Amino acid sequence: MGSSILDNVFWHALSGPQARFAVGTGRARRYAPGFSPILGFADQVQPDFDALRPYCASGESFYTDGWAGPAPAGWCIELESTMFKMLWAGELPPCDPAPDAVPLEPAHAEQAMALAALTRPGPFGPRTIELGDYFGLLDGTCLLAMAGERAFAGNLREVSGICTDPQAQGRGLARRLTAKLIRRQLLRGETPFLHVMRSNEGARALYRRMGFVDQRESVVRVIRSS
């Protein structure tokens, strides 16, 4: 069951535990404006883009997962690649590796957005940090690194938004934050998972060393509404 949920995890999240953060229909949903620009479809093979039209503004761009057909009328594909869905298979981290991390709140949204724009960890919006627990490591008031929870469906909880300011890299900050989230999720009885782009082999190798395993490779696209 966990594997089938993971195959279409954004639909299961947007139509299930995270429905309050979403808009759409019984066939197609999106995170509401301000959250991560991601779409979910009940049928990934034949996604119902027409059902989403009333909920999307002209010129908006969205990420889609697992869909490889031709662009429907009124939409254009801006980017296509693949990403790996990785599932946790390791042990419980024995202690909190980032007790100094600060929970990120709406007051941190501007800093989180700036760090995401600088490091490009994936689709991120000013309200993304409201989707789950997000933590940051700060130097004074400067946000050096962050990681948090995005999609949630079944017992699967995504670790996402993992990034470090280039001037603070090499200190293991993002790894500590990721391990903190993994520990919290496992103690809640959840299974951590994450997405990593095929081109980001360095991050994928790190996640494998931490205890994640490749579950499947999936098409990822950025598509724009005209």
Task: Give the pLDDT mean for 153-163.
Answer: 97
What's the rounded Cα separation, in Å, for the pair 221 and 79? 5
Q: What is the pTM of this model?
A: 0.95
Domain map of the chain by residue range?
A: 2-82, 86-217
Supply the pLDDT for residue 4: 86
User: Would you state the structure tokens that stand for residue 58, as one six-digit string?
Assistant: 């002209």
**DSSP symbol at 84:** E
Supply the pLDDT for residue 2: 56
Angle between helices 173-187 and 201-210 (to 10 degrees): 50
Whole-number percent of the chain with pLDDT over 70: 99
DSSP notation for 143-207: EEEEEEEEEEETTEEEEEEEEE-GGGTTS-HHHHHHHHHHHHHHHTT-EEEEEEETT-HHHHHHH
What's the rounded Cα separation, in Å, for the pair 7 and 224? 23
Architecture of domain 86-217: 3-Layer(aba) Sandwich (3.40)
pLDDT of residue 1 exceeding 80, the answer is: no
Contacts of 60 (CB under 8 A, 6+ apart): 37, 224, 225
Nearest alpha carbon to residue 183 among 103, 100, 95: 95
Mean pLDDT of the chain: 96
Task: Give the pLDDT mean for 2-13.
Answer: 90
pLDDT digits (tens, 9 = 90+) for 170-217: 999 999 999 999 999 999 999 999 999 999 999 999 999 999 999 999
Task: Give the pLDDT mean for 44-68.
Answer: 95
